[in-house]
Structure 1
């Protein structure tokens, strides 16, 4: 099954309760996975894939419920105020927990105080790509830096949106390289890549999964990825660390949190159910179609990941002077 067919199939599933027997996490009422984005998007599909594999742990039913709005903040706030009984969980992107607290002047939630981390589910690095407006002789990060210095009016990068992880990763790179790259935000990865391939912008930071389908066109070249190690989906592409930039490390992740004060026993059982699902070959393969690697974690290790990323992004966002608009 190709990526497009998978999205269509999963978008039509887990919209209604799933009733099965088995080891129960929450037995008394239907449980919900809240997603802060519309149906059919990458985050939504990832949540539905996970829910499908977790169904045996929820004999009373498990549904995926979309609550889009305010760049996912409505969903975050909804789960914050939900009963802390394990029946409501948030399937969240990294930036809602680690970037928004630094970029919004006023935020209705605190990612540390208001939520109990359950499990990290998947991760991907970002790909830094160049398009046809950059000469074919530019094959490495060092080449791109030299080209940017020689062509300052063309030195720009696209991101999937203002205030998200790709935006600030570009600032991180620009500062480390000592070059001035103009940031151009787009409304999603598809339009950013369209302009990249059309030569309207020189470079772009995108999740790996967005870039892979475009490589066949031959119109873009990935110069580096942002993970601590190479992406298994772009195994021949070096990381920024390998390219001499040890501080340019960033990964996009998806994970599950619950309202604070949720009983530890419920959190542990839910984490166990999630981890068992993430170990299945079917889910590993399905996530790989989106350039995502499944993760197996504990509530404690996921908490450490959130705290570390929250601390990492703080000085970068502050130095940028960026403030998100409500």
Structure 2
């Protein structure tokens, strides 16, 4: 009963947001009247264990409670997220196939020729999370601070290497953002993934890496690699002793790993609004909040309109970084 009231109230709100001829509105929203009536699939276009996957699995219990249907996580990795994203772009716009993706969604068009349009073929539901990158370096590197690293890079142009989890990954563009903002000449070394990048940072084979905080924080605490700075505008509570990059030599620096959820472009607005509220409800659970913060992630829900604006803004910035780095869609 509570769930049905929750759904009814949301559909009523959707009608208020989109006024028009009663018959036309009823026809437009009619497919959602008994929604959902079968299991729902959330496609994660990456392997299990990444931030979009962790976030999605944490909120599944809350989604099941709201929708009273099975919600399945379907990991479809490959091609930098393109394979899974394409599945959702081409799915029926009936509310039964969703995409939970990282900021790679906004990066993809600048490094690959995609079989879909990042902005036109998806309907945004909500931003999901925000997480800092942690700028890390080998313990053997002479640089002890961000300022030291920048000074070293400027003294040895083209001689320092920075790792990433692959060309076009969030870690790659976080590194490019640092390179661009600090005005340094450093060489990008792409790896197969985050573990390989951290292995070579630990061994001292590359000089720095903008690592996901959840993957690197324990290595810093154990003294195996050095944490120089966090990429967000504010310090991260889990590593409060590590300064921001902005306060350590690159004023105004602010770059985060963020996630979002989408549906196929022509999904009825009432269903989009329903999911926006459902995700907000699920992520507000205290245990979910605690578990996200424990791995350096913060819930960051938004309206669909705010997500659309974020994607547009990020694509403009990423386009600038891609051009500066000489990257073109392959």
Q: Same fold (TM over 0.5)?
A: yes
Shift of 1:112: 1.4
Tell me the residue number matched to 2:109: 101
CA 1:247/1:171 → structure 2, altered by over 3 Å: closer, same or farther?
farther
Query: Are the equivalent residues in 2 in contact too, given 1:133–1:201 (CA < 8 A)?
Result: no
Instruction: Provide the TM-score with structure 2 as the length reference.
Output: 0.85
Distance between the aligned counterparts of 1:28 and 1:193, measured in 2? 44
Instruction: Look up the SS of the partner of 1:82 in the other structure.
Output: coil
2:33 aligned with 1:28 = no
Structure 1 residue 154 displacement after superposition: 4.8
Alpha-carbon distance between aligned partners in 1 of 2:229 and 2:237, rounded to the nearest angstrom: 13
Question: Is the contact between residue 169 and residue 248 of structure 1 (CA under 8 Å) also seen in structure 2?
Answer: no
2:260 alignment counterpart: 255
Give TM-score, length-normalised by structure 1.
Answer: 0.86
Deviations 1:106-158 (Å, cap 9, x if unpaired)?
A: 211112111111011111111111112312xx332211122223345752211
In structure 1, list runs of 5 or more residues that go unmatched. Answer: 1-19
Match of 1:90 among 76, 90, 99: 99
Deviations 1:164-193, CA, capped at 9 Å, x for gaps: 122122222223323211111111111211
Cα separation, 2, equivalents of 1:270 and 1:154: 48
Question: 1:49 aligned to 39, 52, 58, which one?
Answer: 58
Alignment correspondent of 2:287:
282
Distance change (3 Å), C-alpha of 1:168 and 1:42: closer
2:145 aligned with 1:130, yes or no? no
Match of 1:217 in 2: 222
After TM superposition, give the deviation of residue 41 of structure 1 in Å.
4.2
Paired with 1:102 and 1:134, the residues of 2 have a C-alpha distance of: 32
* Residues 271-303 of structure 1 deviation map (CA, whole Å, 9 limit, x = unaligned): 001001111111112222332111122112222
Look up the SS of the partner of 1:27 in the other structure. Answer: coil
**Could you say which residue in structure 2 is the equivalent of 1:265?**
270
Say yes or no: does 1:189 pair with 2:197: no
Contact 1:77–1:108 (8 Å) recurs in 2: yes
Aligned-partner Cα distance in 1 for 2:122–2:297: 24
For residues 179 and 68 of structure 1, the distance between their equivalents in structure 2, rounded to whole angstroms, comes to 33
| Structure with bigger gyration radius | 2
Cα gap change, 1:40 to 1:319, in 2 (>3 Å): closer
Q: Structure 1 pair 108/154, CA: closer, same or farther in 2 (3 Å)?
A: same
- Whether 2:126 is the aligned partner of 1:112: answer no
**Residue matched to 2:80:** 71
Q: Provide the aligned length of Structure 1 versus Structure 2.
A: 302
More helix by share: 2
- Deviations 1:30-55 (Å, cap 9, x if unpaired)? 21111112344443232211222211
Query: Within 2, Cα distance between the matches of 1:277 and 1:147?
Result: 46
Which structure 2 residue ranges, 5 or more long, are not aligned?
Answer: 8-31
For residues 60-113 of structure 1, the C-alpha deviation after alignment (integer angstroms, 9 at most, x for no partner) is 3221122222222111111111111211111111112x1111222x21111211
| Number of the residue aligned with 1:202 | 207
CA contact 2:104–2:170 (8 Å) conserved in 1: yes
> For 1:99, what is the secondary structure of its paired residue?
helix
Conserved in 1, the CA contact under 8 Å of 2:163 and 2:190? yes
Rounded to whole Å, the distance in 2 between the matches of 1:36 and 1:101 is 15
- 1:319 and 1:247, CA in 2 relative to 1: closer, same or farther beyond 3 A? farther
Q: For the residues of structure 1 that align with 2:187 and 2:325, how far apart are their CA atoms?
A: 12
